[in-house]
């Protein structure tokens, strides 16, 4: 398995047979190394409906025939755009050919700004537990710190956790470091920072605060060292 980070909250997972993209915000993302027209994943996993997470999902799914997995209301909307979706709810898990997906809580909001219908409600935001080839990856999405992260950590042997540290809209470095204590991942990667002025952060400050997991600070295109 190869796991790579591509700026903001974009994560790519390559297994032996499949490529999975999480939250592919590419166009308009000054922090990414990807070009949306070059991407051809088998599946796209979305944490919530904000445009900086849905990103290029519709265009990528149309060009690649990727399955889009998303919280129920978001999946319902995206299906109207001519792509294939799989609806899920928080706490639910499903075994796909490419791996197992389970949605967790995330304390945030979720809406999508369309070009023709204004802003639409896209259901509850979530985090994602993805398991394949004996590895478990936790992508927290956009979230505040919450106590049930301890349950997630107690019930799952997390190899890699992607946690937002940008503050303002999500956890900041201090809360993300505490979240790391609760989750107990082997490796933690900070995400969702420095894309916009309001979420400027020094990831090294986060690294200093984390004492129980290995912190890997990745530039766009960086590969997690498992």
Q: How far apart are the first and last CA of the chain?
A: 9
| pLDDT computed for residue 14 by the predictor | 98
CATH number 1.10.10.10 given to 2-219: no
Hey, is 154 helix, strand or coil?
helix
Which are the contacts of 118, defined by CB distance < 8 A and separation ≥ 6? none
Supply the mean pLDDT for the chain: 97
Q: 16-34: per-residue pLDDT in tens? A: 999 999 999 999 999 999 9
Q: Using an 8 Å Cβ cutoff, are 210 and 188 in contact?
A: yes
**What residue spans define the domains of the chain?**
2-219
Q: What is the mean pLDDT of residues 65-76?
A: 98
CA–CA–CA angle 38, 41, 44 (5° rounding) = 120
> What are the start-end ranges of the H helices in the chain?
51-54, 57-64, 72-79, 149-155, 173-183, 203-209
Q: How far apart are CA 218 and CA 190, in angstroms?
A: 8
Q: Is the pLDDT of residue 163 over 80?
A: yes
Q: Using an 8 Å Cβ cutoff, are 44 and 61 in contact?
A: yes
Q: Using an 8 Å Cβ cutoff, are 103 and 127 in contact?
A: yes
Q: Is the pLDDT of residue 97 over 80?
A: yes
Helix/strand number for the chain, H first, E second? 6, 16
Q: How far apart are CA 140 and CA 142, in angstroms?
A: 6
State the pTM of this model.
0.98
β-sheet with 187-191: strand ranges across? 93-96, 99-105, 126-132, 135-139, 160-164, 187-191, 214-215
């Amino acid at each position: 398995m190869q796991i790579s980070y591509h700026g903001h909250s974009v994560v790519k997972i390559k297994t032996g047979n499949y490529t999975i993209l999480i939250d592919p915000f590419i166009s308009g993302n000054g922090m990414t190394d990807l070009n949306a027209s070059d991407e051809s994943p088998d599946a796209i996993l979305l944490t919530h409906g904000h445009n900086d997470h849905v990103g290029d999902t519709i265009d990528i799914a149309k060009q690649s025939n990727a399955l889009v997995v998303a919280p129920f209301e978001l999946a319902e909307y995206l299906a109207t755009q001519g792509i294939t979706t799989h609806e899920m709810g928080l706490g639910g898990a499903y075994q796909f050919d490419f791996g197992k997906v389970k949605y967790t809580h995330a304390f945030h909001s979720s809406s999508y700004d369309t070009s023709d219908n204004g802003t639409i409600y896209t259901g509850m935001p979530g985090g994602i537990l993805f398991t394949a080839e004996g590895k478990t990856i936790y992508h927290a999405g956009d979230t505040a710190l919450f106590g049930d992260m301890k349950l997630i950590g107690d019930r799952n042997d997390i190899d890699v956790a992607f946690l937002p540290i940008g503050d303002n809209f999500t956890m900041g470095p201090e809360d993300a470091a505490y979240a790391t204590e609760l989750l107990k991942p082997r490796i933690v990667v900070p995400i969702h920072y420095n894309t916009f002025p309001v979420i400027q952060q020094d990831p090294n400050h986060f690294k200093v605060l984390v004492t129980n997991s290995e912190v890997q600070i990745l530039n766009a295109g960086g590969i997690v060292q498992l």
